Amino acid sequence: MLRIGCVGYGTGGQHFHTPFIAAAEGCELAGIVARAEATVAKARADWPDTPIFPSLTAMIEAGVCDAVTITTPPQTRRALVLEAIAAGLHVIADKPFAPNCESAMELGAAARAKGVTLGVYQNRRFDADLQTLKKVIDDGRVGKVWRIESRMDQDSPHTVERGPTGGLLRDLGSHVVDQMVYLLGPVATVDAQLDIVDFPEGPTDVSFTLTLRHESGAHSHVSACKLNYIDDRELRVIGDKGSYVSKTIDIQAQDIFAGKRPADDPEAWGFEPEANWGMLRTSEGAVRVPSEQGRYHDYYTAFAAAVRDGTPPPVTAETGAGTLAILDAARQSAAEGRSISL
């Protein structure tokens, strides 16, 4: 069993890490780092048999972990990742993986020098809607893919990280860009528009639209917002044999926030309801496509296997750095009003 400690118990640690560590094959939730009294109480109530530590240093000294997930606020992650690597622990870093591409490569080099596995937690590769879309593409049901359109709008203004180190591009942008790289491969050029709000903490991008031209010849168009009172998720693929469109409810997040856990009923976990199944349209007509299973815990299962077998994790530091290079180019594109080549 890979003993994993979770560093941080905010929304990420509570909802998107610990339940999936506990559900993953070959993994054990071995410790939680939490400081604030209310956060400690919440962690103890959720995981009464798991030790709570006031710091990563204290958890390392206790010797309870083989690996850690770093899910603290973005500006704190670099130092914690480096501390864990120096201690010889394998590391999963939440997104955004690093402040920029250069910093991400530095972390990857540190992990290689120490001989530990470093992965980026891009759990939304394991969304039900994305896995269904991937199967539609892999099965050749739309033929050669010309373009993919992805919209991830959330009515959650309170979750926007404000100021120059935050913003929606580094938040949801990390997810939707990684998804397109996962489906269509490396990106050649980036065009971007960012919508900025001047908060007391500093100018912050709260909405974006990106056009990515992939080396394969396909192109993708991704957008997101959090301040515009929209809660909607849509994926649309256009190919030379047809199209596929899905509108979903982010079923894993909905169930987690409702108090459910994937370990409670792993066979039924993560399927979009039939009312949300996507529509495939070809020359043979229109058909509903049953939902594939969404399983964020598959990330942790694969990470444990990578540590055991010495193989790459599901999302490597290099892949994470590549996503950050795209986000860096997007910011430059929006500032200069032109296409940026990678």
User: What would the pLDDT profile of 108-161 be if each residue is shown by its tens digit?
Assistant: 999 999 999 999 999 999 999 999 999 999 999 999 999 999 999 999 999 999
Question: For the chain, where are the E strands, in sequence order?
Answer: 2-7, 27-33, 52-53, 67-70, 90-94, 118-121, 145-153, 187-199, 202-214, 219-225, 232-239, 242-247, 278-282, 285-289, 340-341
In a domain, 320, yes or no: no
Same domain for 279 and 212? yes
Query: How do strand 2-7 and strand 27-33 relate by DSSP bridges?
Result: parallel
Please name which of 25, 26, 28, 23 lies closest in space to residue 6, comparing C-alpha atoms: 28
What mean pLDDT comes out for the span 44-65? 98
What mean pLDDT comes out for the span 37-54? 97
Same domain for 85 and 212? no
Same domain for 148 and 236? yes
Which CATH number do you get for residue 57?
3.40.50.720
DSSP output for 113-169? HHT--EEEE-GGGG-HHHHHHHHHHHTTTT-SEEEEEEEEE---GGG---STT--HH
Same domain for 156 and 269? yes
What mean pLDDT comes out for the span 9-22? 97
Q: What is the pLDDT of residue 307?
A: 98
Same domain for 271 and 162? yes
Residue-averaged pLDDT of the chain: 96
Same domain for 91 and 218? no
Q: What is the pLDDT of residue 98?
A: 85
Q: What is the pLDDT of residue 122?
A: 96
Helix (H, G, I), strand (E, B) or coil at 17: helix
Count of domains forming the chain:
2
Is the distance from CB of 299 to CB of 275 less than 8 angstroms?
Answer: no
Same domain for 154 and 94? no
Q: What is the pLDDT of residue 165?
A: 84
Residue 74 pLDDT more than 90?
no
Q: What is the pLDDT of residue 36?
A: 95
Which one-letter DSSP state was computed for residue 267?
Answer: T
Which CATH number do you get for residue 155?
3.30.360.10
Is the distance from CB of 198 to CB of 120 less than 8 angstroms?
Answer: no
Which residues form the domain of 237?
A: 127-294
Q: How confident is the model at residue 100 (pLDDT cuts 50, 70, 90)?
A: confident
In a domain, 224, yes or no: yes
Helix (H, G, I), strand (E, B) or coil at 68: strand
CA distance 231 to 62: 43
Same domain for 107 and 146? no
Helix (H, G, I), strand (E, B) or coil at 306: helix
| Ranges 94-103, 239-248, 309-318: which has the least confidence | 94-103
Same domain for 193 and 308? no
Same domain for 261 and 307? no
Q: What is the pLDDT of residue 140?
A: 98
Same domain for 14 and 93? yes
Residue with tokens 């990742």: 81
**Residue at 84: amino acid letter:** A
Same domain for 274 and 149? yes
